[in-house]
Amino acid sequence: MPHPAPPLPGTATVRTRVRIPLTFPDGYRAEAEVFTFHGLADGAEHLALALGTVPAGGTPLVRLHSECLTGDVFGSDRCDCGPQLRESVERIAEAGGYLVYLRQEGRGIGLYNKLDAYALQDSGLDTYDANTALGLPEDGRDYTAAAQMLTAIGAGTVDLLSNNPDKAAQLAALGITVGRRVPTGVHLSASNIRYLRAKVERTGHSIELSRLVG
């Protein structure tokens, strides 16, 4: 279900900027300028990583990536988060733009709750019904802080690297102009097919599974 329009964000400001060289397990390297912020609506320690150079007169490519410890750090195949993060860094570095890394583990329900939901998925529930069986929202993410961060770094108009229509809708409601939504690749594994199919069927994600599975 789509989220209701969130309130317009207050003002956030850039707190610090620091350069960090990134090296991924496959050897890919990129240079990031990492921004921290004051005044974010939820008080969490979100980050924005500037990658590449936006061409003069161009629109930055932006990815809102929700933290996933199991996928981003440990390489879990139960989701597509780790491969999406790796893909996003390279594509943004090529086009110029920002990776907004949001501390929203488990679509906003937290790490322990996410792992509890995994146990329910093992008994047959899909990723959304497992959340609601725990008395939690299907997707508890609010992108107010993301809109604040983009505004603070001067990215009021973006091309959004995402399969999720809710991200674009929330950003637009929060005053960020989304020029176009650019889908990520399809990162399919034997362990995440049910998860990806649920995202397509339940929340309209633009994942071209039909080309890969019957």
* Cα–Cα distance, 170 to 16 (Å, whole number): 26
Check: CB of residue 63 under 8 Å from CB of residue 162: yes
Q: Is 109 helix (H, G, I), strand (E, B) or coil?
A: coil
Q: Count the Cβ atoms, other than its own, within 10 Å of residue 167.
A: 21
Interacting residues of 54 by C-beta distance below 8 A, sequence separation 6+: 60, 95, 96, 97
φ, ψ at 82 (rounded to 5°): -60, -50
- Among 72, 80, 139, 142, which one carries the catalytic annotation? 139
Let me know if 139 is a catalytic residue: yes
* Cα–Cα distance, 65 to 49 (Å, whole number): 11
Mode of pairing for the β-strands spanning 47-51 and 29-38: antiparallel
Please tell me what DSSP assigns to residue 179. E
- Among 63, 91, 107, 141, which one carries the catalytic annotation? 141
Sign, CA dihedral 87-93-98-104, equals positive
Q: Quick one: tokens of 33?
A: 């300028």
Let me know if 86 is a catalytic residue: no
Give the active site residues.
139, 141
